[in-house]
Chains A and B, each alone.
Chain A
C-alpha cells in the first residue's frame, strides 16, 4: 500500500480546499476585484509557512522519509513562457474559478460539469504539446 499515503494527502487536500472556500468561484472573483482579504490571506500564509518549512529543512533539521535532504526541483530560467503562459492560465482561472486542483475537488463535491472543464483542460494541454516547438519560451 505504498500509494495509501498519497491517497490520504489527496483527501486532506480536497477537504482543506473546500473548507477554506479556495474552490469557490465567488472567492476567486472577489480576489481579482480586491474586495476581500480572504484569498490573499490563504495564499500569503501558505507561502509564509512553506518558506519556514523549506528554510528549516534546508538547514538539515527535517529530512525526507528516506532520510535524504528535502529537495525542490529548480524551474528552468525563462521569461516569455512564464509571463504569457501565466497570463493565459489566469484568464481561464478567473473565468471558471477553478485551477487544476479544484477542478477535481469540485467534481467530488457534485459539480458534474467539471468533467467538461477537465476534458477541455486536457485538450488545452494537448494543444500546448502539439505547438510547443513553435512557441517562444
Chain B
C-alpha cells in the first residue's frame, strides 16, 4: 500500500501519462488539455465577438468530461491515495527558495505564498496568479497546444512543430525561473 501512498517514481509516472495518451487515441480522440479553454470560451458566448470561437463545441464534450474527471482524480489522489510525504526536492532548491521568502518548499503541492486564499488580498499574489493564467491561456493557443498536445502527443508522433513549441516552452520557463522570479521575490 505504501507504494501507492508515497509519491510515484518518474519511471512509473511517465509511462502512465503515455497510457492516458494511448487510451484517448484508442478511443479515437487526441490528448490535448488546452483545447478545453477554447471550448469553454465558446460555451460562454465568445463566438458572438470573435469568429475563432465559432465551432461546434458539442464535439468537444468528451474532452470536457476528461477535465471533469481530472478534477475528481485530483481530489481522490490527495484525500485517499496520499500520506504526509513531502516532495523530495533537491536541498539546494529548498535553500534557494527559502532565501527568497518561500517558507516551506515541498510541504504542499503549491506555495501558500502565492496560492493561499488569504494571500490573495495582497496585490502581488493576485497579479502573479492572473498574469500566469493569461500567459498560459494566450501562449498555449498561439502555439496551438500545451504540454499534453505538444510535449507528449506531438513529440511521441515525431512532429517538428511540436519540437519547436517545446523548445519555446523551455526558453520561457528558463527565463521566468532564472531571471524574472528572482526579481519578483
Contact = CB atoms under 8 A, between A and B. Distances in A.
Size bracket of the A interface = 35 or more
Contacts of A123: 133-134, 137
Interface string A105-130: 11111111110111111111111111
Interface string B107-122: 0011100111100100
A58 B144 CA distance: 24
Contact of A86 (B14, B70, B167): B167
A5 to B, nearest CB: 6
Contacts of A27: 87, 89
A106 B37 contact: no
Interface in A68-116: 68, 70-79, 81-101, 103-114, 116
Contacts of A6: 27, 29, 62-63, 65-66, 69
Interface in A9-58: 9-33, 35-39, 41-51, 53-54, 57
A117 B134 CA distance: 8
Contacts of B41: 122, 125-126, 129
Interface in B12-44: 12-30, 33-34, 36-38, 40-41, 44
User: Which of B65, B139, B170 lies at the interface centre, i.e. has the most chain A CB atoms within 10 A of its CB?
Assistant: B139
B125 to A, nearest CB: 8
B133 A51 contact: no
A14 B159 contact: no
A64 B136 CA distance: 32
B28 to A, nearest CB: 5
Interface of B: 4, 7-30, 33-34, 36-38, 40-41, 44, 46, 49-50, 52-53, 61-63, 65-78, 81-82, 87, 89-90, 92-93, 96-97, 105-106, 109-111, 114-117, 120, 126, 128-148, 150-162, 164-178, 180-181
Question: Across chains A and B, which 4 residue pairs bring their CB atoms closest together, nearest first?
Answer: A10-B69, A86-B168, A14-B73, A90-B172
Interface of A: 3, 5-33, 35-39, 41-51, 53-54, 57, 62, 64-66, 68, 70-79, 81-101, 103-114, 116-130, 132, 135
11 contacts: A21-B109, A39-B10, A41-B11, A72-B153, A76-B161, A81-B144, A87-B175, A95-B131, A106-B110, A122-B37, A125-B38
